[in-house]
Amino acid sequence: MTDLPGYPSRRSFLKASAAGVALSGLAASASAEEKTPPVPLDQYERQYLNAEEWAFIMAATARLIPSEGDGPGAIEARVPVFIDLQLAGDYGTADDWYMEGPHDPTAEPARGWQTPLNPAEVYRQAIPTFNSWCETTYSKSFADLDTAQQDEALTALQKGQAVLAPELRDFFTILLANTKEGYFADPQYGGNHGMQSWVYIGFPGARAAFREWPERHNIKYPLGPVSISGERA
């Protein structure tokens, strides 16, 4: 990727920032960091998920955003790492949410989040329940099904045919939402590895400076993405 002539690019700003960091004798530049391959997913040290949950998340996200076809899948984007870190953090524990009782988890969905469980607890309870449903239906846990069966089981989960307790009924909704978040969020959160989802759709990430572009009508923006930490792709 080249910057446009005469365009004071985000990249030159980032280069200047990286130089500043180097002068202060701190860590190596962002582009050097980018060359260090991340720890393989099977060696990743989980922060929240247990082994059964990890196997489920690996298998389920791989069907929600599969690897085949153009663009990265959830596995290449390292979405499972993102989900693990989110559940270990203040999203998982619903720190910002009003969680006082009484709770009415049977209230109709339009009333919003009404389970007494936080998202991390929903994952913890829903995964074994759904695996049991898969055992009953297919005699295998979800991760061991073939991909067609996995798609069928996830569809049943989405449609409420694989019945979960009311306290867990938003599980598929948050699983899908968290998977897409991990696919598209800045790489600092563990997913969107190498910004490949941004490259795939043509989103320039944290560039956030388009002074000449409003009136460049119907011309595709040519520059690849940058991340908050200054990676380029």
Partner 1 sequence: MARQDKKRDVVIVGLGWTGSIAGIELAQEGLDILALERGHDQNTVPNFEYPQQIDELKYGVRLKMMQKPSHQTVTVRRSGDETALPYRSLGSFLPGNGVGGAGTHWNGLNWRPQPEELRLRSHVRENWGEQIIPEGMNLLDYPVTYDEMEPFYTRFEKVAGISGKAGNLNGVIQEGGNPFEGWRSEDYPMPPLPTTWDSTKFQEACTAAGLHPFHAPAGIASTAYVNPYGMQMGPCNFCGFCERFGCYQYSKSSPQTAILDALKRMPNFEYRTESEVLRVELAADGKTATGVTYWDEKAGEEVFQPADIVILSSYQLNNVHLMLLSGLGEAYDPLTGEGTLGKNYAYQMNGGVTLFFEDDNFNPFVGHGANGVCIDDFSVNQNDFGALGFIGGSYWRSGTFNGQPIRSMPLPKGTPGWGAGWKEGIGKWYGHAMSIGSHGSHMSYANNHLDLDPTYTDRHGRPLMRMTFNWQDNDLRMNQYMKSQMEPLAASMNPTSMQSGFKDVGAQYDVRPYQTTHNTGGHIMSETPAEGAVNKFSQTWKAHNVFAMGAGNFVQNTQYNPTGMVGGLAYHTVHAIRTQYLSNPRPLV
Q: Judged by CB under 8 A, does residue 45 bind partner 1?
A: no
Asked if residue 230 lies in contact with residue 27, where contact means CB atoms within 8 angstroms, the answer is no
Q: Judged by CB under 8 A, does residue 220 bind partner 1?
A: yes
Q: Judged by CB under 8 A, does residue 199 bind partner 1?
A: no
Pick the stretch among 23-31, 49-57, 89-97, 136-144 that binds partner 1 (CB under 8 A).
89-97
Chosen residue from 113, 130, 133, 171 binding partner 1 by CB under 8 A: 113
| Minimum separation from the CB atom of position 43 to partner 1 (A) | 25
The DSSP line for the chain is --PPTT---HHHHHHHHHHHHHHTT-SPPHHHHHHSPPPPGGG---SS--HHHHHHHHHHHHHHS-SSSSS--TTTTTHHHHHHHHHHSTTTTTTTS---S---TTS-GGG----SS-HHHHHHHHHHHHHHHHHHHHSS-GGGS-HHHHHHHHHHHHTT-S---GGGTTHHHHHHHHHHHHHHS-GGGS-SGGGHHHHHHT--BT----TT-TTSTT-------B-TT--B-
Chosen residue from 95, 135, 160, 163 binding partner 1 by CB under 8 A: 95
Q: Judged by CB under 8 A, does residue 210 bind partner 1?
A: yes
Residue 173, Cβ neighbours under 10 Å: how many?
13
Q: Judged by CB under 8 A, does residue 146 bind partner 1?
A: no
| Minimum separation from the CB atom of position 36 to partner 1 (A) | 21
Pick the stretch among 33-41, 50-58, 65-73, 124-132 that binds partner 1 (CB under 8 A).
65-73
Chosen residue from 19, 27, 97, 146 binding partner 1 by CB under 8 A: 97
In whole angstroms, give the CA distance from residue 181 to residue 183.
Answer: 5
| Minimum separation from the CB atom of position 233 to partner 1 (A) | 15
Q: Which is nearer to partner 1, 63 or 124 (CB)?
A: 63
Q: Which is nearer to partner 1, 105 or 128 (CB)?
A: 105
Q: Judged by CB under 8 A, does residue 202 bind partner 1?
A: yes
Backbone angle region of 190, left / alpha / beta, with phi > 0 → left and psi within -120 to 50 → alpha: left
Count of residues engaged in binding partner 1, rule: CB under 8 A? 60
By CB under 8 A, the residues from 174 to 193 that bind partner 1 are 176, 179-181, 184-186, 189
Residue with tokens 């897409």: 180
Q: Which residues bind partner 1 (CB under 8 A)?
A: 63-66, 68-71, 73, 91, 94-100, 102, 104, 107, 109-114, 151, 154, 176, 179-181, 184-186, 189, 197-198, 200-206, 208-211, 213-221, 228, 230
